[in-house]
Structure formats: structure tokens, C-alpha cells
Amino acid sequence: MKHFALTAVAALTLFACNTTEKAPEETTELAVVDYEFYGDSTMTADDAVPAAELLTFLDGRDSVPVKIAGTIAEVCQKKGCWMSVDLNETESMHVSYNYEFLLPKNCGGKDFVMQGTAFFDTIPVSHLRHLAEDAGKSEEEINTITEAKPTLAFLATGVMIKKN
């Protein structure tokens, strides 16, 4: 009898877990993705290129207008006036919006879609140090920056940040 009772409790608990796991699948199709808009509020998330595929998408071009989707790696901790996006394990892209708008200071790690122009640029040491300071790096870390950095950059006209 004790056997039966314990088996029943364990089975019911596992069943309850399975039911809980299935619930999100059922709601995924109906879920509406909620975005916060910054800059151009008319843009949509359609046809965005994954950030990880951006270098391939550029295909040797110096600059290209494009809409991309990815995850925000870092954001300026003073004003939210720039962010960075990881393109792969070793390369990241600096994103600015020329102060036409600012992003939330707590949007690091959030998924986004943005449109604008991707281009190759070289960021001078003075600006790299300024960015490091904005990102909250220590003085020691800032002093290690001694060379300009050739990088893929992005000038965004609009950014959509996924809220949930």
C-alpha cells in the first residue's frame, strides 16, 4: 500500500512537471512579442539579418544599410548613448545613434532588432578610452588601451528592444 501511494505521488508530480513544460509551447504561437521603440518607431522586426551573419552579409562591402537582430552585449552606463553587439566569440560591433535617441541603461542582455548602416571604422584611442569609461571599466583597464581599433560599426536610425 505504501508502495502504491509513493508511486502515485511521484507519478503525479512528474505529470504536473510535464504539464507545466508543455504550457509555454501552447502559448508560444499566440504570444505577441512586445517591443520598446527608440528612434524610428515605424520599423518592424521583419527580415532582420541575425547579428552572427552580418559579416557574411556585408560580403566585402565597406558599408551597407541593413536591419539586424541579436542580443545587446554592453550599453553605455552613463547615458545609454551607445551599445555593443557580439558578432561571434571574438568580434563585437560598436553601435551609435548620434544622440538622436538614447537607450535604457539596463538593456544589456536584451534581444533587439535595429536598422541603420553597418560600416567599417577605426576608433581612435581617445574615443576607445571614453567608451571604456562609459562602460564602467576601471582606470587600470582604461590605461591598457593604447591602440586604435579597426572595427565594424553601426549607425542606427531605430532600435526595437524586446521587453519580454
Partner 1 sequence: MKFATYVLGCLFGASLFVSCQGTEETSKTDENWEPDMYQPSELVVVMRHMFDENIALKDSITKGIVPREVPAKYREILTATATNPSELDEIYYAMANVYLENYSVLTQADSATAIEKYNIVVQSCIGCHQNYCMGPIPKIEKLYID
Q: Which stretch binds partner 1 (CB under 8 A): 13-21, 58-66, 83-91, 114-122?
A: 13-21
Diameter over CA atoms, the chain: 77
CB-neighbour burial class of residue 157 (10 A; exposed 0-12, middle 13-18, buried 19+): middle
Q: Quick one: 85 or 128, whose CB is closer to partner 1?
A: 128
Check residue 148 for interaction with partner 1 (CB under 8 A): no
Check residue 110 for interaction with partner 1 (CB under 8 A): yes
Q: Quick one: 49 or 128, whose CB is closer to partner 1?
A: 128
Identified binder of partner 1 from the candidate list 80, 94, 95, 156, rule CB under 8 A: 80
Question: Which grid coordinates belong to 82?
Answer: 551607445
Binding mask 25-64 for partner 1 (x = CB under 8 A): -----------x----------------------------
C-alpha closest to that of 93 among 55, 145, 46:
55
Strand ranges (E), the chain = 35-39, 49-50, 63-75, 82-86, 92-96, 111-123, 149-162
Nearest approach in angstroms of CB 104 to partner 1 is 3
